Chains A and B, each alone.
Chain A
Amino acid sequence: GQQVMQIPQYQHVQEGEDFTTYCNSSTTLSNIQWYKQRPGGHPVFLIQLVKSGEVKKQKRLTFQFGEAKKNSSLHITATQTTDVGTYFCAEYQAGTALIFGKGTTLSVSS
Chain B
Amino acid sequence: EAGVTQFPSHSVIEKGQTVTLRCDPISGHDNLYWYRRVMGKEIKFLLHFVKESKQDESGMPNNRFLAERTGGTYSTLKVQPAELEDSGVYFCASSQGGTQYFGPGTRLLVL
Q: Which residues of A are interface residues toward B (Cβ below 8 A)? A: 35, 41-45, 48, 88, 90, 92, 95-103
Contact = CB atoms under 8 A, between A and B. Distances in A.
Interface in B24-81: 33, 35, 41-45, 48, 55-56, 58-59
A96 B48 CA distance: 7
B105 interface: yes
Contacts of A35: 102
B42 A103 contact: yes
A102 B39 CA distance: 11
B48 A45 contact: no
A97 B35 CA distance: 9
A43 B44 contact: no
A102 B44 CA distance: 9
A97 B33 contact: yes
Most interface-central of B33, B43, B45 (chain A CB within 10 A)? B43
B102 A101 contact: no
13 contacts: A42-B102, A42-B104, A42-B105, A43-B91, A48-B99, A88-B43, A95-B55, A95-B56, A96-B45, A97-B33, A100-B43, A101-B42, A103-B43
B88 interface: no
A95 B58 CA distance: 13
A24 to B, nearest CB: 14
A97 B45 contact: yes
A100 B48 contact: no
B102 A43 contact: yes
Contacts of A98: 33, 35, 43, 45, 93, 100
B30 to A, nearest CB: 13
Given A96-B55, A97-B45, A42 B103 contact: yes
B101 interface: yes
A102 B91 contact: no
Nearest to A44: B102
Interface string B74-111: 00000000000000000101000001111111000000
A100 B91 contact: no
